[in-house]
Chains A and B, each alone.
Chain A
């Protein structure tokens, strides 16, 4: 009986079998989606490849010294990245200095003190801030923040702290400090949102245990809850930092675009993103062009490292939270 059944069905050639499977769609679907997924992989690899190739003249001429040279002279074709690395790092550092206390404070309020409805509404509004485009921050900064800095804040800082080299020099209004301030505002939402989540995921028992031992609410929060959530909070800071480093428009509109390194915080400066934005379209010599691409590569590298660290930290904190439960 079995033999007849087998003989009854004529053997199908391989091509017909393949077409049949294709018509079922699964193989095709697998292939199509694979191609799209692969294209993401390929385009990113291609991007890194292009950056590498188009910075070759500059990498060849300056080598690692590029990262430590301070001259940026298109005429003499002598390029160094230090002023821009310095500006990028300094403005981001200033941004975090200003934004972290405020943002963590707000996150604490929103997770520990505020009633849920208020907390959700405020978080929603703060998260909307994350959506405001960089150029609009820049627009606001030029017409509101810069005059404020020039007429009030910087003269005040010079009067009180002017003996420090950090606050010497004319009060331009444009400069590292102003850029740091606008970056601080741009980073609030990330830190607040993620820190709040981290704080909320701390198990209730921790707080109750602390309070049961006689701690005040603040002591319980600051000495128990926050340390418990610290990995997530730190992760959010790294994420915010990565965002701040890559900011272009808001920074170039207020930093003063000066290629020299200055020790004063109120002096004008430059960041990597800002100089690429200003000079890329006109870099006629190959070296100039490649130097700018190399700067882009350096910036990309820094953000890669930061993002990776951030994700590890955030991952660790969520895993930790669920494990301890």
Chain B
């Protein structure tokens, strides 16, 4: 009886393996940031429709995990909202890592307060909340920026990321720039020692927790707040204006970088100058190897990148991201040419 069972199992397995060998599309595996996950999924789907032989399986496991899996070689390319450091890049010896900015996005401060559809946040308030110093929604600092709002006597539940996140990096990078106390106590990074709060997994996890927890506050990419009809605040930028994240304000934040983009595309645009610039904006990058062993994979990636920089950009606005500035696109097309 065991023999029969075993032989059935073996036959099934062989069929699967054989079937796999005949399969048409060769799946390319990629992993990384949750920040742009929604538009990446859309892109890979659309690109697959046009080119049925290119199937890209993207797993949104966080920027840190994307970098790690790229380093270990378990995925073909990665995605991250925090550029790789020199040290991280030096660990990959097989090839150089090219950073390809894909879209612009905004990290919003989202919260769950009934009856309060909109709030203004000044930088020190945000730092104070996430440091744990401002612990209640009816704190004086919040009242000052929101004279008309009905702020309840409710403890603030802080929600941050549980894992290494590019979104966290952007957020803490911003906080380090505007708050010396944050900079010395916590600092900027994909993974920091958060003074307080619950940890959610991925942008979705944070959004899920904030959405379900009254009185909570967290930071997520704009699209997650929009899709889930969650409230998010206007943040006071370096010019002193309370600015809500949207297409125009995020694009303006990138204006300076568009003109002076470094050659390796690694740049931070938080707290950017500009009257209407949204201060917690960022590029997000695909981490692409500079050379591929497999010509088929190389052609697939190169083809996708070219599509992404042209047709792909058209999807950005509809999904609450902003497309790349034209000078950046031109520079990236040159970088594509360097891929071997």
Contact = CB atoms under 8 A, between A and B. Distances in A.
* A and B, direct touch (CB closer than 8 Å): yes
A174 B65 CA distance: 25
Interface string A241-266: 00000000000100011111000000
Residue of A146, A268, A270, A278 with most partner-chain B CB within 10 A: A278
Contacts of B209: 174
A174 B198 contact: yes
Residue of A71, A75, A252 with most partner-chain B CB within 10 A: A75
Nearest to B85: A284
Nearest to A262: B196
Interface of A: 71-76, 142, 146-147, 150, 170, 172-174, 252, 256-260, 268, 270, 278-279, 281-284
A279 B193 contact: no
A258 B189 contact: no
Given A281-B69, A284-B67, A284-B68, A75 B199 contact: no
A172 B217 CA distance: 12
A-B pairs with lowest CB-CB distance, top 8: A257-B199, A282-B65, A282-B64, A170-B155, A74-B191, A257-B162, A75-B189, A281-B65
Given A75-B187, A147-B212, A279 B164 contact: yes
B163 interface: yes
Interface string B148-185: 00000001110000111000000000000000000000
Nearest to B209: A174
A75 B192 contact: yes
A278 B61 contact: no
A257 B198 contact: yes
B65 A268 contact: no
Nearest to A151: B214
Contacts of A147: 212
22 contacts: A74-B164, A75-B191, A75-B193, A146-B212, A147-B212, A174-B198, A252-B201, A256-B198, A257-B162, A257-B199, A257-B200, A259-B193, A259-B199, A281-B69, A281-B163, A282-B65, A282-B67, A282-B163, A283-B64, A283-B68, A284-B68, A284-B71
Contacts, number: 83
A253 to B, nearest CB: 9
Contact of B193 (A73, A281, A284): A73
B166 to A, nearest CB: 11
B155 A281 contact: no
B62 interface: yes
Interface of B: 61-62, 64-69, 71, 88, 91, 155-157, 162-164, 187, 189-194, 196-201, 209, 212-213, 215
A281 B61 contact: yes
A278 B202 CA distance: 10
Given A76-B193, A278-B201, 5 more contacts: A73-B193, A256-B198, A257-B201, A258-B197, A281-B69
A278 B189 CA distance: 17
Contacts of A284: 64, 67-68, 71, 88, 91, 164
Contact of A268 (B62, B69, B198): B198
Contact of B163 (A142, A258, A278): A278
Contacts of B68: 281-284
Contacts of B200: 257
Given A73-B193, A281-B61, A284-B64, A256 B199 contact: yes
Nearest to B197: A258
Nearest to A170: B155
Nearest to B163: A278
A137 B335 CA distance: 49
Given A72-B193, A259-B193, A259-B194, A278 B162 contact: yes
Contacts of A268: 197-199
Contacts of B198: 172, 174, 256-258, 268
Contacts of A256: 198-199
Contacts of B194: 258-259
Contacts of B193: 71-73, 75-76, 259
A37 to B, nearest CB: 16
Contacts of A270: 199
B129 to A, nearest CB: 13
A268 B200 CA distance: 12
A261 B232 CA distance: 30
A73 B191 CA distance: 8
A170 B215 CA distance: 10
Nearest to A78: B193
A291 to B, nearest CB: 12
A60 B164 CA distance: 24
A86 B11 CA distance: 49
A182 to B, nearest CB: 16
A172 B212 CA distance: 10
